[in-house]
Structure 1
Amino acid sequence: MINTILSHPRRVFGSIAVLCAAMLAFGIFYLQNVVGLEPCPMCIVQRYALIIVGVFCAIAAFTGKPSAWRFWGLLSVGVAGFGAFTAARQSWLQWNPPEFATCGRDLYGMIESFPLQRAIPMIFKGSGDCSAIDWTFLGGTIANWSFVWFVIFIVVIIATLLKLPRQRNGAMPA
């Protein structure tokens, strides 16, 4: 069954794009607007990574060439890896909160007030709200689940790309 699914790259990329959109809708419409959670700087970085993975996978789903699937798939894997790193760092902060919790600045305030080479390390340093656990599902925080889904996307995309036929002498095998 898994081989059947992975042998249709356009469906795989399309499914990942739809999953990304569904996860974003859940985060924005339910967690933010209904529950009332405000995203921290690391949550916003993960949200942007999810948007970019979804867009790259949607582009891959609309292309019909294996070379395009490889290109957009590898870009998606890179961005998903960055999202997984950010989620893992936030999970670590939640398990080992800073001694002095400060709310810090939001992402936009950091970028507006500091040069980019100072703002990026500040984002990954985290703040009091990055280490807060405001919502859980099946024992996992939002950052934990974000990490799990980024890793699933990476594994599925790599497995799909490995199933693509190899090109020889510039032509697809018959």
Structure 2
Amino acid sequence: MSDVTAATDTTALDLAGLTHDGRKPAFDVVEFLKRPLVAHLATWKPETACDSPLWFHHDGRDLWFISANRGDTFPDKVRQAPNAAVGIVDFDKPTGRFLHLGFRGIARPHPWDADTAIALLSKYLGSNRAGWDPRFADAPESRTNVFVRFTPRSFVARDQSFLVGG
């Protein structure tokens, strides 16, 4: 069984359980993933590494990223080298908040699904599709977009917040 197949057969990580280094998460990871933050998907090939800042949807198990097939290369990258990492940071300098969530796992292209697209885009653009930026208005009905589906195998959740000096 390949690593990609094995990733689809595993159960979801317990995001309230211990992190890869044996610690309790420093914050509620499930609630954190509901927020419209930006994830960075790190992929690599033998000749290069790439970092893609992306909007995401968490379905309770996997992270879903939109790939507009019009020139995006990362579906091909993850097909060739599925091991990937995801980092999500909530940083607010005025308050000193610095929360970091990191995952290691398997990324793979996945067929387009309108319901998942609507869930992802609504998180960032709101539930009223009529008010969406025109670039995204027809995205759920796309015939060219694909998803990159990321299945986490381990995670770390750290609160690296700091006191703000006066």
TM-score normalized with structure 1 length: 0.26
